C-alpha cells in the first residue's frame, strides 16, 4: 500500500446522504403500502422491496470497508479490504439493477392507452422512478467509498480506472441478473451455474447491454461526483473568504 497513515475519510454513517437514502427507502416502502391499500390483494410490485434490500448490501460492505481503515493496518487491512472489496463487487450490480425493474411497468398489459391517462399510471411511474433513483444513489455512494480507498492507498488515477472498470463490470452484472437470471449468492451456492451463465453472457447482445448500462452507471457517478466536488470547493472558498 502506498500510504501507512490512517486516512481521514468522512464518517459514512453520519453523512447526510445516508439519511436521505434511509428516508427515500422508507418513502418507497410507504408508496408500496399505499398502492396495496388502494387495490385489495394487489401485491404485484412487492418484489421491489426485496430488490431495494439487495441494493443496500453493497453500501453496507463499503461502509464496513471505510470503518476497517480506522481500526486495521498493514496486512490485516490489506486482506480485509480485499475480502470486502470482492464481496462488494459481487453485490454492486444489485444497486443499478433497480433501473431495469421499469420493464414490469412497460410490459404491464393493464396500462393501455386509456389507463396511461389515469392517476394510477403516474403513481406507479413515480414509484418505479424512486426505486430506480434510490438504487443509483446507493450504487454511487458505495462506489464513492471504494473510489476514495483506492485513490488513497494506490493512486488517484488508479482510482478513476477502478471507477470505469467497475461501471462496466456492473453493467455486465445487471445483464446477468436481468437476462440470465443469476444472483450474487450463486458465487457461493451455485458456482457452476454462475460460470455457465457468464459464458452464455459472452455474446453481442450482452456486450451492447453491458456498454449501455456501463455508460449509465459511469455518467451518473461522474455527474454526482462532480456536483459533490463543486459543492466542497464552494464551501472551502466561502470559508477562506470569511477567514
Q: Would 99 be classed as within a structural domain? A: yes
The closest alpha carbon to 149, from 218, 52, 82, 97, belongs to 82
Q: Would 243 be classed as within a structural domain? A: no
Q: Would 1 be classed as within a structural domain? A: no
Q: Would 89 be classed as within a structural domain? A: yes
Q: Which residues, at least 6 apart from 170, have a Cβ–Cβ distance to it below 8 Å?
A: 92, 93, 95, 96, 139, 213, 214, 217
Helix axes 204-242 and 156-178, enclosed angle (nearest 10): 140
Q: Would 37 be classed as within a structural domain? A: yes
Under the banding of pLDDT at 50, 70 and 90, the label for residue 1 is: very low
171: how many CB neighbours lie within 10 A of its CB?
23
142: how many CB neighbours lie within 10 A of its CB?
25
Q: Give me the domain span that covers residue 28.
A: 16-238
| Phi (first) and psi of residue 230, to 5 degrees | -65, -40
Q: Is 14 helix (H, G, I), strand (E, B) or coil?
A: coil
Output b/e per residue, 209-227; b: 16+ Cβ within 10 A: bbeebbebbbebbeebbee
Q: Would 6 be classed as within a structural domain? A: no
Q: Would 159 be classed as within a structural domain? A: yes
Q: Would 2 be classed as within a structural domain? A: no
Mean pLDDT over 103-117 rounds to 70
State yes or no: pLDDT of 43 exceeds 70: no
Q: What is the pLDDT of residues 129-138, one digit of tens each?
A: 999 999 999 9
Under the banding of pLDDT at 50, 70 and 90, the label for residue 111 is: low
Q: What is the pLDDT of residue 6?
A: 43
Q: How far apart are the first and last CA of the chain?
A: 37
> Total structural domains in the chain?
1
State yes or no: pLDDT of 7 exceeds 60: no
Is the Cα torsion angle 31, 33, 38, 40 positive or negative in sign?
positive
Under the banding of pLDDT at 50, 70 and 90, the label for residue 197 is: confident
Under the banding of pLDDT at 50, 70 and 90, the label for residue 176 is: very high
Q: Is-contact 175 217, C-beta < 8 A?
A: no
pTM over cut 0.75: yes
Mean pLDDT over 147-158 rounds to 94
Q: What is the pLDDT of residue 44?
A: 77
Amino acid at each position: 500500500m502506498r500510504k501507512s497513515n490512517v486516512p481521514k475519510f468522512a464518517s459514512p454513517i453520519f453523512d447526510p446522504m445516508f439519511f436521505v437514502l434511509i428516508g427515500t427507502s422508507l418513502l418507497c416502502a410507504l408508496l408500496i403500502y399505499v398502492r396495496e391499500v388502494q387495490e385489495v390483494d394487489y401485491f404485484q410490485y412487492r418484489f421491489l422491496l426485496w430488490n431495494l434490500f439487495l441494493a443496500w448490501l453493497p453500501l453496507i460492505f463499503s461502509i464496513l470497508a471505510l470503518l476497517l481503515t480506522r481500526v486495521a493496518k498493514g496486512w490485516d487491512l490489506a486482506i480485509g479490504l480485499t475480502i470486502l472489496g470482492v464481496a462488494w463487487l459481487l453485490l454492486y450490480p444489485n444497486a443499478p439493477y433497480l433501473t431495469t425493474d421499469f420493464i414490469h411497468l412497460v410490459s404491464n398489459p393493464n396500462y393501455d392507452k386509456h389507463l396511461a391517462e389515469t392517476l394510477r399510471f403516474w403513481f406507479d411511474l413515480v414509484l418505479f422512478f424512486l426505486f430506480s433513483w434510490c438504487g443509483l444513489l446507493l450504487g454511487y455512494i458505495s462506489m464513492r467509498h471504494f473510489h476514495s480507498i483506492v485513490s488513497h492507498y494506490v493512486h488517484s488515477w488508479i482510482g478513476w480506472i477502478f471507477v470505469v472498470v467497475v461501471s462496466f463490470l456492473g453493467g455486465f452484472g445487471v445483464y446477468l441478473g436481468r437476462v440470465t437470471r443469476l444472483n450474487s449468492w450463486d458465487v457461493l451456492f451455485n458456482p457452476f451455474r454462475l460460470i455457465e451463465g457468464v459464458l452464455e453472457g459472452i455474446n453481442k447482445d450482452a456486450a451492447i447491454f453491458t456498454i449501455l448500462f456501463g455508460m449509465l452507471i459511469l455518467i451518473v457517478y461522474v455527474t454526482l461526483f462532480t456536483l459533490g466536488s463543486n459543492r466542497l470547493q464552494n464551501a472551502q472558498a466561502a470559508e477562506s473568504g470569511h477567514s
